[in-house]
Structure 1
Amino acid sequence: MLAVMNGTVSRSVTAKALAVLGTFDPGHTRRTLSEIATAAELPPSTTHRLVAELVAWEGLTRGADGRYEIGRRIWLLGSLSALSRELRAIALPFMQDLSATTGENVHIAVLDGDRALYIDRISGRRAVPVVSRPGARLPLHATGVGKVLLAHGDDGLRERTLRSLPRLTPLTVVEPGRLQRQLQQIRERGYATTHEEMTAGSSSLAVPVFDRDGRVVAALGLVTASTRRELIRLVPAVQLAGRGVSRMLGSTR
């Protein structure tokens, strides 16, 4: 991907595009255009053109604040990886059992930048309409799986999230102090709940999924109608499914 022109080494277009994508890592999940240019060691004009093409391809997405992050198309490619296929294959039987038992929508999500990325979903017979679908990226602070991932994420992730808490419904938690207290409770009790914070009329419940090293690698949850039943009654069933997936991943928790 290097070409020699007039005695100097020049990177190919492919190498430059990969350099742009390579500026994103767990410590830099969101970047400005100038930050990308500096990190990729590219001229601003070249960076602007490549980033625009990657956005059009859905390899990158641009937030309301002008910062860029990895897009859905990259996830779709990543979903073909052995690790993603393993997680989905392992979780599927437990998700099917949970959906059959409760009649609700059941889904599993992983952290993708500063969002919850849904990698699979089972629709229940009593399911309410939901916005989650495989490949969807939803806010951490307004979803059950998102709150689990946020509670177990690093300090930088929580700091960035707490700085911007958009109100999606009248019941979305947008007070940083209140959300921080909820995250502490999630770590202590082992599950998260929401009540009409992402979608009016829907409530959610989610639990963490651990790997063999004790790290939270995903969140498993369900969505139910807010008027249908008390979420607390569903906690044991969801926790059982979450523990089953975790054990299959080698966790001893």
Structure 2
Amino acid sequence: MPTSEPVPRSLLGRAFTLLSVFTADRPSATLSELSRHSGLPLSTTHRLVQELIAHRALDKDGSGRFTIGLRLWELGALSPGALDLRERALPYLEDLFEVTHHNVQLAIRDDLEVVYVERISAKDAVNVVTRMGSRLPLHATGVGLVLLAYAPPEVQERALDTELKQFTKHTITTPNALRSALATVRRDGYAISDRQIETITYSVAAPVRGPGGDVAAAVSVVVPTQTRTDTVLPAVRACGRAISRALGWRRV
């Protein structure tokens, strides 16, 4: 469906509208798809696409479809918050991976979505849908439940008032169930997201706190459903505390 937002008048605004067509579910698009989903005229889309290709913000593959260019990934990696967090967290994420040998993920919250800023996985680890830079709704992931549980009350209320997307029959889809899950996270200090995204996996997540004690990120391990929780939970929580200390948090 085309965007319902007004088409920006500035060149920069139109460029960002065009780039926003790309999502985890739509990593590539044709020229006509870009025009349709952005709401921009085909001639304008063509002109912007050529400019973005020239600046390596877009690439064109052999089939004529367009994808996000390497330059945008390079610039995104320089975001001060994400860059500092990743650099400080990486040694502890690597330790967590060595202990568990499962998919290790680090994520932050952007409004009502999780943004994955780092992931470590092995070839024989269970397949996951996430990658660096990808997004998922807060309610359906372990890291998302942690980030939402410690988010400001107004953010929680907006999430509770939003339609909760269902991925599997196990996905949280009602406000009451989500409210209960968030209370459990705050009580226990960690989250378990059981088969919410895929029926073959569950995730165990713990908070990462900044210098002031606010939850700045979340770390998780995604494991096959037959994995015993007690074999990964202590390591995930220890990793969250270690990254928190690296960010300047001190337990009071």
TM-score tier, shorter chain, comes to: 0.7 to 0.9
Provide the residue aligned with 1:133 in structure 2: 131
Q: How does 1:78-97 map to 2 (within 5 A)?
A: 78-97=76-95
Matched, 1:33 2:5: yes
Shift of 1:33: 3.2
Gaps of at least 5 residues in structure 1 are 1-31, 35-43, 67-71
Query: Aligned partners of 2:151 and 2:8: how far apart in 1?
Result: 35
Contact 2:207/2:217 (8 A) holds in 1: yes
Aligned to 1:178: 177
Query: In structure 1, the residue corresponding to 2:20 is in which secondary structure?
Result: coil
Query: Normalised by the size of structure 2, how large is the TM-score?
Result: 0.73
Determine the structure 1 residue equivalent to 2:202. Answer: 203
Match of 1:46 among 5, 9, 21: 9
CA distance 1:75–1:177, shift in 2 (3 Å): farther
Aligned pairs (5 A) from 1:66-215? 77-124=75-122, 126-162=124-160, 163-215=162-214
CA distance in 2, matches of 1:245, 1:90: 7
Partner Cα separation in structure 2 for residue 45 and residue 197 of structure 1: 36
Q: In the superposition, relative to structure 1, how do residues 45 and 150 fare at CA in structure 2: closer, same or farther (>3 Å)?
A: closer
Q: Give the aligned partner of residue 10 of structure 1.
A: none
CA RMSD of aligned residues (A): 2.7
Identity of aligned residues (%): 37
Task: Tell me by how many angstroms 1:54 deviates.
Answer: 1.5
- Check the 8 A contact 1:100/1:124 in 2, yes or no: no
**Alpha-carbon displacement from aligned partner over 1:76-104 (angstroms, at most 9, x marks no partner):** 63430333222101111111111111110
Alpha-carbon distance in 1 for matches of 2:212, 2:20: 33
Q: 2-side partners of 1:80 and 1:187: how far apart? A: 32
Contact 1:76 1:135 in 2 (8 A): no
CA distance in 2, matches of 1:83, 1:208: 16
Q: What CA distance in whole angstroms lies between the structure 2 residues aligned with 1:127 and 1:239?
A: 20
